[in-house]
Amino acid sequence: MQKIPVIQDPTPPFATDGKFHVRLTEGRFQNLRRLTTWPLIALFFGLAWVQIDGQPFLFFSFEQRRITLFGSALSWHDLPLMAGLMIAGATLLFFMAVAWGRVWCGFACPQSIWTWLFIRIEQLAEGRATERSKSDHLPLRGIRLLRRVIKHLLWIFLAVLTAATFTGYFVPIREIVADGVNLEMSATLVGWLAIMAALTYANAGLVREKICLHACPYSRFQSVMFDDNTLTVSYDARRGEPRANRRNADENSGDCVDCGICVQVCPTGIDIRNGLQAACIDCAACIDACDTVMDRIDRPRGLIRFASERQLEGNQSPFMRPRLAGYAAVALCAISAVIYGFTDTKSLLVEVRRDRSALFTQLDQNTVCNNYRVKVEGFASGQELIRVSLSASPQFTLNGPEIIKLSDNNSAWLPYRICGSNVDETNAKLAFVFTGNGISTSKETTFLSKLI
Ligand code: SF4
Ligand code: SF4
């Protein structure tokens, strides 16, 4: 099996000064990309605003130490659920990597999606790639300057919108907007938004493919996961070589007319005809570009296509294989565990500790009292008042607040005293009952009435 080479400087041959402009192309894979990216963009910008029964759909509150996932408030007791979600996500990613290489990078990774958005804005403001390349060598004034300024203003607008939405998953988005409109934002929030916007602007507008090439660990992972049955974007050298432009072509020439369009559309600037490369993000732009060329010269499509090494050698390539089946099984188990976990989340957590410093207090000949400390944590919205009662025989009485008001961080610690008359058992069992907002839970504890 061929190892994927890591190319550190894939500057394309047409980028003489080291800078290149990606040429946008159209085709079936670009349509597929729209089908995956636009819903993801809509989800990102929309979910921050969605609420279910007053609860945000997706929210991470550091202040309240609470995570809300799919409308369910999770407590720290539900952390294994987060771990399950991560395992499910990772195994699905591994499954995709073994089956189709880096399709995640090409079709769903935020870095790629935002880079494409920024390139589209660039094309809207400054024209197509060839026009932009020419402009780079001309003095920046007049209409060229105006178009450049418009591009940067649009980039900044999108970067700020992205930063505000991302922050909206940690600070209520309605508060951010209201504070912004009323010019009442705290300096911390302004600083955070500025940093996030600057990072978005730099990542998608300036650094772009360098992140995929040098900072993303996934391209290195892919090298390990890849096998000779992995379907990945490949150039069919057996069909394309020897390449020759149409003027010099003869009966021995391959189908590649050496037009270079597959290189010009590549966002990472590589030439896929050099073989598998770690820099390839499987975006399939070169497939669409080459298919257009093949249509024009009346040759079959697919000179560049999703193909495994075995298929390129003319062999059959099975889709399902043991490693893939293993990832699928683990992913299914993790997803099932997460679904089950969501049906078992707790929105009211309670803790009861008996005061062990004084085992019990003898009030009179028949009455004994025990002291307790009670902690209540609420994780559902509107869960502010919790009623406390005792589940025990009438010989026990509860002394302490009957209603607990949860503080701003949704938790409270309170002292209680339970007194019992004529208790025969040394270690009597009783339970605190907590009720609030339609939820009821109890916590069993012991009542000590005499020394053993
Ligand atoms: S687009 Fe197709 S024909 Fe043109 S250089 Fe690339 S592989 Fe060859
Ligand atoms: S080689 Fe093709 S699939 Fe790979 S990154 Fe470049 S354009 Fe995308």
Who contacts 387 (Cβ-Cβ below 8 Å, separation ≥6)? Answer: 402, 403, 404, 434, 435, 436
The DSSP letter of residue 422 is S
Probe target for ligand 2 pocket from 33, 222, 281, 290, with the most ligand atoms within 8 Å of CB: 281
Q: What is the mean pLDDT of the chain?
A: 87
Q: Check residue 11 and give its pLDDT.
A: 54
Q: Of all atoms in ligand 2, which is nearest to the CA of residue 285? A: 7
- Nearest Cα residue to atom 5 of ligand 2: 280
**Average pLDDT score over residue span 248-272:** 91
Domains and CATH numbers, the chain: 1-345 (no CATH), 348-448 (2.60.40.10)
Share of the chain above pLDDT 90, in %: 46
Query: Phi and psi of 129, rounded to 5°?
Result: -55, -40
User: Residue 257: is its pLDDT beyond 90?
Assistant: yes
**Average pLDDT score over residue span 360-368:** 84
- For residue 7, what pLDDT band results from cuts at 50, 70 and 90? very low
- Nearest Cα residue to atom 7 of ligand 2: 266
Computed on alpha carbons and rounded to an integer, the radius of gyration of the chain in Å comes to: 32
Question: For ligand 2, is residue 286 a contact (CB within 6 Å)?
Answer: yes
pTM listed for this prediction:
0.78
- For residue 381, what pLDDT band results from cuts at 50, 70 and 90? low
The residue with greater pLDDT, 313 or 278, is 313
Q: Check residue 6 and give its pLDDT.
A: 45
What is the three-class DSSP state of 448? Answer: strand
E-strand stretches of 269-380: 304-307, 348-354, 361-362, 367-378
- Nearest Cα residue to atom 8 of ligand 1: 256
Structure token digits, residue 229: 């049955």
Share of the chain above pLDDT 70, in %: 93
Interval 122-176: pLDDT, tens: 999 999 998 998 888 888 889 999 999 999 999 999 999 999 999 999 999 999 9
Residue 380 in contact with residue 437, Cβ under 8 Å?
yes
The residue with greater pLDDT, 81 or 299, is 299
Residue 377 in contact with residue 348, Cβ under 8 Å?
yes
**Average pLDDT score over residue span 332-357:** 84
Using the mean position of ligand 2's atoms as its centre, give its distance from the Cα of residue 199 in Å: 25
Question: For ligand 2, is residue 48 a contact (CB within 6 Å)?
Answer: no
Question: For ligand 2, is residue 266 a contact (CB within 6 Å)?
Answer: yes
Using the mean position of ligand 1's atoms as its centre, give its distance from the Cα of residue 183 in Å: 54
User: Residue 94: is its pLDDT beyond 70?
Assistant: yes
Using the mean position of ligand 2's atoms as its centre, give its distance from the Cα of residue 326 in Å: 28
Closest ligand (CA of 107): 2
Using the mean position of ligand 1's atoms as its centre, give its distance from the Cα of residue 221 in Å: 28
Q: Of all atoms in ligand 2, which is nearest to the CA of residue 304? A: 2
Q: 110-126 and 129-136 are packed helices; what angle lies between their axes, rounded to 10 degrees? A: 70
- Nearest Cα residue to atom 8 of ligand 2: 283
Closest ligand (CA of 258): 1
Structure token digits, residue 263: 């290189």
Using the mean position of ligand 2's atoms as its centre, give its distance from the Cα of residue 91 in Å: 24
**Average pLDDT score over residue span 33-61:** 91
Closest ligand (CA of 254): 1
Residue 219 in contact with residue 213, Cβ under 8 Å?
yes
Taking the C-alpha atoms of residue 231 and residue 240, their distance in angstroms, rounded to an integer, is 19
Question: For ligand 2, is residue 276 a contact (CB within 6 Å)?
Answer: no
Taking the C-alpha atoms of residue 416 and residue 370, their distance in angstroms, rounded to an integer, is 9
Taking the C-alpha atoms of residue 336 and residue 342, their distance in angstroms, rounded to an integer, is 10
Taking the C-alpha atoms of residue 104 and residue 112, their distance in angstroms, rounded to an integer, is 9
Q: Check residue 2 and give its pLDDT.
A: 46
Classify residue 269 as exposed, middle or buried by CB count within 10 Å of its CB (0-12, 13-18, 19+): buried
Taking the C-alpha atoms of residue 398 and residue 393, their distance in angstroms, rounded to an integer, is 11
